[in-house]
Amino acid sequence: MFVVGISGVARSGKNLLCDLLRDSLREKGLSSKQFALAAELKNDCEEFLKMKCGLNVWTDVTQDKSTFRDFLVWYGSLKRQQSNGRYWIEKLNSRLGSYSGDVAFVTDVRYDVYNKDEFYWVTEEMQGITIHLKRIINNIYVQPANDHEKFNDRKIQRKSDINIVWRTFNDPYSEKSVMKIIDDTTDRIINLMN
């Protein structure tokens, strides 16, 4: 299994990039699956947010997410501090251990603060690569959602193996510039796998 970490601020298109790359790999006969460190965080917080606040931690509605984003950042940070950045990594490691496909995409690699943090985990422990993503909407880069993103995103971007800047399109599958990025990135992943 080859691990590809995807980083970028909220709404930069990390899940979309993952979907496009997975489709491209599938066309070349390779299997892949999407994983997220935040899924482990949401699993931890799901019951509390539902029972105490009436909120769905799995919502895709940006406005609803903003209601509890600060709470997730606080709780996620607390668990990271208590474990030197390893709490969410270890939870995801156990799920990755049972995956036998070709490529595992981790769509939310955000931190390189502790010695063996998320970036180190992907690139050194898992011997994978990182892709950093920036998205442009109306000629403006999507801005970090909070100070954590602002600080950490720059650090990860500088160290990433692949940096992608893309614009927002209604149908990225029919946009030649997007598909060129996907084809080039897919080829690079396959070359690094061998």
**What are the boundaries of each domain within the chain?**
2-193
Residue with tokens 């927002």: 168
Which residues are within 8 A (CB) of 157 and not within 5 positions of it... i.e. 6 or more apart? 7, 132, 134, 163
Q: How does pLDDT run across 105-124, given as a tens digit for each residue?
A: 999 999 999 999 999 999 99
Tell me what pLDDT residue 119 has: 97
Q: How does pLDDT run across 34-82, given as a tens digit for each residue?
A: 999 999 999 999 999 999 999 999 998 888 888 998 899 899 999 999 9
Domain 2-193: assigned CATH number: 3.40.50.300
93, 102 in Cβ contact below 8 A? Answer: no
11, 142 in Cβ contact below 8 A? Answer: yes
Query: What is the residue-averaged pLDDT of the chain?
Result: 93
Amino acid identity at 36: A
149, 110 in Cβ contact below 8 A? Answer: yes
Q: What CA–CA distance (Å, rounded) separates 120 from 123?
A: 5
Q: Fill in the DSSP letter of residue 84.
A: T
Q: Fill in the DSSP letter of residue 113.
A: -
Can you name the residues that pair with 134 across neighbouring β-strands? 165
Q: Return the percentage of the chain with pLDDT > 70, whole number.
A: 100
Of 11, 14, 2, nearest in space to 96 by CA? 2
Q: How does pLDDT run across 74-96, given as a tens digit for each residue?
A: 999 999 999 999 999 999 999 99
Tell me what pLDDT residue 62 has: 81
Tell me what pLDDT residue 27 has: 97
Tell me what pLDDT residue 29 has: 97
